[in-house]
Chains A and B, each alone.
Chain A
């Protein structure tokens, strides 16, 4: 079943993600994706995540599609202008990629090529509009396409953003521009997500709540200090700090979160950050698969 069909069916949708390697050794990323086969409805492939130069999302998505997996091409606005972005989207379509997630992208100075030129020729709303235009058979300049894609377009939102009203305002624009599903930044506070869902209910777009697997107390503290809009409560940090089995506790926490979140959203987006092998256990513990 495609992601489009899964979302349309009304079922509780699960997506996860893999990150391409720093180099050409794509084997481990494909293996991570294999852990997810049959368990998730789609697999995001990150686009130079954290602004670090890597193998591309497009090539990795193509390899997943070839293997019968359902990839979601993440596209950020940081590295390409409107010519390259639109061209890459057309390339993605002919390479068998059907789902696209449009994001702004972390600033270059947060990554490993700090002096790189930040492009941001389009912002995420404009990128969605450009992709929707391709779906409708024309490019941003209004020229007609010879053969058009039919992407399922998605976007992201940060329920813990400050001010959250500005996030809602931008999400409204994204949906108006063509987004048909939403994946959220990592959420650790069920009440916060519930409040946020109330604010965006009028958009009538499937929302998948983001779950980042905690790997350690240190990682949780790092996210609290460095990742905007993410707040891991002290209680969870304490559990990660005192456990004898980090993976087991991480799985337990993620499953509890999914249990709490599921009545408020249409699915979850798991961000295992390399712990893809634990995703089956998380889904089993959450009673999802």
Chain B
């Protein structure tokens, strides 16, 4: 899931300073679970914008907001409300913002959230990063714990010297050292031999960079 958090209201109002009429777009999937761009948050944002002197012409919840064809279809149903707006505010991840910007080429489209990471839902309202979408999954070798994500330095061949006596990371004493987790798990399974091989550097030309994906997305499914 793509995890996002709301931008500060002042920042959003700054983007909308030259727009009087605003249309809102949310997302039924990640942004709804993150409580940043579901129906409730869109209605709340509409109220807040009205309190700040804006007129909200309407809103839609994309299903999901990153699906270009689906979004296009939805926005066609709200053509008049979109046409009446001078700006569009998107409350979903960066992909959703760019999907809206791609579909609404002649509109000013602004983000209402900051996209932070790909992660899991720990419990209601609590999320944790687990995947960097690096394009070459190593989890089979590392006991299902990702060194690219869980090690601050994304080291592939074992821990640096920065693991504290409590097993925490030098970068953030609140975070477990990813390599200690990997080591302990494989030790418990009697599979430490899996760590013996020297792994070569990752090949970044195989990394599915965002820009490339978005260009491909323009021509096909979002």
How far is B193's CA from A172's CA once the two chains are assembled, in angstroms?
12
| Contact indicator B163/A228 (Cβ below 8 Å) | yes
Shortest beta-carbon distance from A150 to chain B in Å: 22
Q: In the complex, which residues of chain B have a beta carbon less than 8 angstroms from the beta carbon of A156?
A: 161
Question: Interface readout for A124-146 with B: 1 if CB under 8 Å, 0 if not?
Answer: 11100100000000001000000
**Count of A residues near B, CB < 8 Å?**
38
| Contact indicator B201/A167 (Cβ below 8 Å) | no
Shortest beta-carbon distance from A288 to chain B in Å: 26
- Main secondary structure on chain B at its contact with chain A? loop
Query: CB-nearest residue of chain B relative to A163?
Result: B183
**Count of B residues near A, CB < 8 Å?**
32
Shortest beta-carbon distance from B33 to chain A in Å: 29
How far is B156's CA from A167's CA once the two chains are assembled, in angstroms?
13
| Contact indicator B158/A185 (Cβ below 8 Å) | no
| Contact indicator B165/A104 (Cβ below 8 Å) | no
Query: CB-nearest residue of chain B relative to A82?
Result: B201
A173 CB–B CB distance under 8 Å: yes
Of the candidates B158, B162, B164, B199, the one whose C-beta lies within 8 Å of that of A166 is B158
| Contact indicator B171/A170 (Cβ below 8 Å) | no
Q: B residues within 8 Å of A by Cβ? A: 152-167, 170-171, 177, 179-180, 183-184, 187, 192, 195-196, 198-201, 204
Beyond contacts A120-B155, A124-B160, A166-B158: 11 other A-B pairs, Cβ-Cβ < 8 A, are: A107-B170, A121-B204, A123-B156, A161-B163, A162-B165, A165-B187, A169-B158, A169-B183, A169-B196, A177-B198, A229-B161
Q: A residues within 8 Å of B by Cβ? A: 77-78, 82, 104, 106-107, 109-110, 118, 120-126, 129, 140, 156-158, 160-163, 165-167, 169-170, 172-173, 176-177, 185, 228-229, 231
What are 12 A-B interface contacts by the 8 Å CB criterion?
A: A109-B171, A110-B170, A120-B153, A120-B155, A125-B158, A126-B200, A126-B201, A162-B167, A165-B192, A166-B163, A166-B180, A173-B157
